[in-house]
Amino acid sequence: MSTEPPAFALRRGRPDDAGSITTVHLRSKRSAMPWLAEPHSDEEAERWVREGLDRFEVWVAEVHGDVVAYVAFEPGNLDQLYVVPGHQGEGIGSALVQLAKDRAGSRLL
C-alpha cells in the first residue's frame, strides 16, 4: 500500500465548478474555524463564488476528478485559497500559490 498522497491536477476554474468550489470553501472554513458565524446561506455563498469566477482568475486542483482546492487572484492580490481538510499538507496549496505568483506576478498580497 502506497503512503504517497494522490497526484493532483491544476486547471482553470469554469462556471460549472461553482458548486464544487463552494463546497471546498465551506468545508475548509467550517473545519478551520467552526466558531466563525455564517451570516450567509450556502446558496448565497455559491452566488458569491459564481461572481468571483467572473471577477478573479480562478484555478482549481483536482484529485481523481474531484475539486479539492481553489485559488482566486488578480494582479497583486491573492484573494482566496482553500484546500479541503483531507488534502491539506499534500502540496496542493503551495502549488496553487506558485501558479498565482507565476500568472499574477510574484508580489501577491
* Residue 21, domain member (yes or no): yes
The model's pLDDT over 82-96, given as tens digits with 9 standing for 90+, comes to 999 999 999 999 999
- Per-residue pLDDT band at 3 (split at 50, 70, 90): low
Assess whether pLDDT exceeds 70 at residue 5: no
Residue 87 placed within a domain: yes
58 in any annotated domain:
yes
pLDDT digits (tens, 9 = 90+) for 18-67: 999 999 999 999 999 999 888 889 999 999 899 888 899 999 999 999 99
Contact 4, 60 (CB under 8 A): no
Is 20 within 8 Å of 53 (Cβ atoms)? no
B/e letters for 16-46, b = 16+ CB within 10 Å, e = fewer, are: ebbebbbbbbbbbeeeeeeeeeeeeeeeebb
* Domain residue limits at 76: 9-104
Give how many domains the chain has, as a whole number. 1
> What pLDDT does 52 receive?
84
Q: Provide the pLDDT for residue 39.
A: 87
Name which residue leads in pLDDT, 69 or 52: 69
Q: How far does CA 76 lie from the centroid of its chain?
A: 18
pLDDT score at 2 = 55
Q: Residue 108: its pLDDT value, please? A: 57
CATH label of the domain that carries residue 51: 3.40.630.30
